[in-house]
Structure 1
Amino acid sequence: MTKEIKNSKIQELSLEQREELLTVLKDRFEKNMNRHKDLVWEKVQAKLEANKEKLCSLNEMEKTGGEPDVVNYDKKKDEYIFYDCSAESPKGRRSVCYDREALESRKKHKPENNAIDMAAFMGVELLTEEQYRELQDLENFDKKTSSWVQTPADIRKLGGALFCDYRYGHVFVYHNGAESYYAARGFRCSLRV
């Protein structure tokens, strides 16, 4: 995904692509029941089949290495919540700075993209710090990598951005210049269906 994504949109999935994705998601769901105790795949699948746009977003999460899985169910809104559950920050979303402003501020060695624009293109949102901690309660992720998380406006206004990782048995939240990017830092997403 390059800078040109700003004005493009996700391609619709063919019937074959939808069926293939649903198979992958079902297999992951069944292999990781610890992430979604008491939830039933058939109900999740029915919601997905009724919302092709969200299925396209999940496909983008999958294509970029996120390994999305159901992590919760919001009874009030009747929505299933998916997070990226890849062991490390998704490979297809690394080496990006935080947002467009940060990208444009770089004079040399610009990354190809930024986390906020990529997430918007995919139809998803970066995890918040709270969501990142919830994810780590399920199992430990980002033992070797780190992930940008949604940054409060007051921090961003001063040029910073937040990222998290898991080291030494703890979740750490750090700050960096929003224009920074590293081969081991990407971002994780959430999607409600």
Structure 2
Amino acid sequence: MFIIYLFLIIFVQNLDVINGQEIRTCDESYCRNPQNGVCKEIHCVGKDKMLYKNATTCGCCHKCIKILEEGDPCQLSMFRTLPESVCGPHLKCQQVDRDRICRKISDIPESDDETVGLCERELVDLDKYSVGKPVPECDDFGQYAPKLCRNGTLCHCVDKNGQRIFGSATYDKSDDMDCCE
């Protein structure tokens, strides 16, 4: 009985196809195998472009994505693929009448869009309401980056909502900080 069980475990671990679908194993050889596609040479230069590293299956290839400006047409979502373009900083793709366009986050009422991160909203509102407040650093999802520094003097760790958590250091030692997210 044990031998049959062991055989089944080994068989399933080495199975490359289940129900007609190939199972990818992302190891070093996957990206070097020409059958899995060859990465195209990318020239991603200019302020209206952004390089997404390791963007394809198994992280083999990079992709250049166009940065859209306010008023440009955009796509709300892409299923299982990276888009060809995204709205630029402080902009969000939103349905307006029949069109989808990039709009300033500050122009989108909070009640209309809960997907805008707290950090992104604070960053947009910083000029309007705050003097001397530290400028937050936001991640790609509009949440707070794990570290917040105040005017080159003191840094402390924050959670994704910008609330201070354990961990602080002087600015000159901030590169050594290990803030948990």
TM-score w.r.t. structure 1 length? 0.24
The answer to which structure has the higher helix fraction is 1
Say which one has the larger Rg: 2
Higher relative contact order (CA 8 A, sep 6+): 1
TM-score w.r.t. structure 2 length? 0.25
